[in-house]
C-alpha cells in the first residue's frame, strides 16, 4: 500500500464486517486496505472513538451497513469533524471490490466511482408466476 492509498473501514452490526471481508478475501485473495469493525457492546462514543483511531489523519472511506444504524451515526459524527473522510451507507460486495481496486485514486474520484459505477442489480419477474421456477 502506498502512502496515498485510501483506507477502507468496514463497520456493521454483528459479524457482518468480518464476514464481508472473509468473502472479499475468498474472491480476491486479499483484504488489504480494508479493516473490519463490529459495534458489539460499544457505546456510540466508544464506536466513534474506535473509528477515529483507525482513520487517523489518512484519507478514509467508512463503509456502513444500515443508513439508520448506530454505526452510521457514529461514522457521520466523526465525519463532521474530519475533512478527509467519506461515509458510504448500504455497503455491498460490488462496492467493496470496486474500492479495493481503485483506492489509489484521489478520494473524490473514488467516491464518484462508488456513486455512479456500482449499482444494485434487481431483476423483475418476466410474468405473473415467474416466482415459482418450473421444472
Q: Which residues bind another protein (CB under 8 A)?
A: 13, 41-44, 46, 66-70, 72-73, 76-77, 80, 89
Grid coordinates standing for 129?
408466476
89 versus 118: smaller Cβ distance to another protein: 89
Nearest distance in Å: CB 39, another protein: 9
2 versus 83: smaller Cβ distance to another protein: 83
Nearest distance in Å: CB 74, another protein: 9
- What DSSP string describes 15-77? THHHHHHHHHHHHHS--TTEEEEE-TT--HHHHHHHHHHHHTTS-EEEEES-TTSHHHHHHHH
Nearest distance in Å: CB 111, another protein: 16
Grid coordinates standing for 23?
468473502
Question: Would the CA dihedral through 87, 88, 92, 94 be positive or negative?
Answer: negative
Nearest distance in Å: CB 70, another protein: 4
DSSP structure class, residue 87? E
33 versus 75: smaller Cβ distance to another protein: 75
43 versus 104: smaller Cβ distance to another protein: 43
Amino acid at each position: 500500500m502506498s502512502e496515498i492509498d485510501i483506507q477502507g473501514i468496514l463497520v456493521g452490526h454483528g459479524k457482518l464486517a468480518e464476514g464481508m471481508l472473509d468473502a472479499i478475501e475468498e474472491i480476491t485473495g486479499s483484504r488489504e486496505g480494508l479493516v473490519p469493525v463490529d459495534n458489539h457492546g460499544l457505546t456510540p462514543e466508544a464506536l466513534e472513538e474506535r473509528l477515529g483511531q483507525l482513520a487517523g489523519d489518512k484519507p478514509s472511506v467508512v463503509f456502513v451497513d444500515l443508513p439508520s444504524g448506530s454505526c452510521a451515526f457514529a461514522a457521520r459524527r466523526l465525519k463532521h469533524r474530519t475533512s478527509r473522510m467519506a461515509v458510504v451507507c448500504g455497503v455491498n460486495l460490488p462496492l467493496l471490490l470496486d474500492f479495493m481496486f481503485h483506492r489509489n485514486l484521489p478520494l473524490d474520484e473514488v467516491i464518484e466511482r462508488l456513486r455512479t459505477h456500482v449499482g444494485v442489480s434487481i431483476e423483475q419477474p418476466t410474468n405473473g408466476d415467474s416466482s415459482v421456477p418450473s421444472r
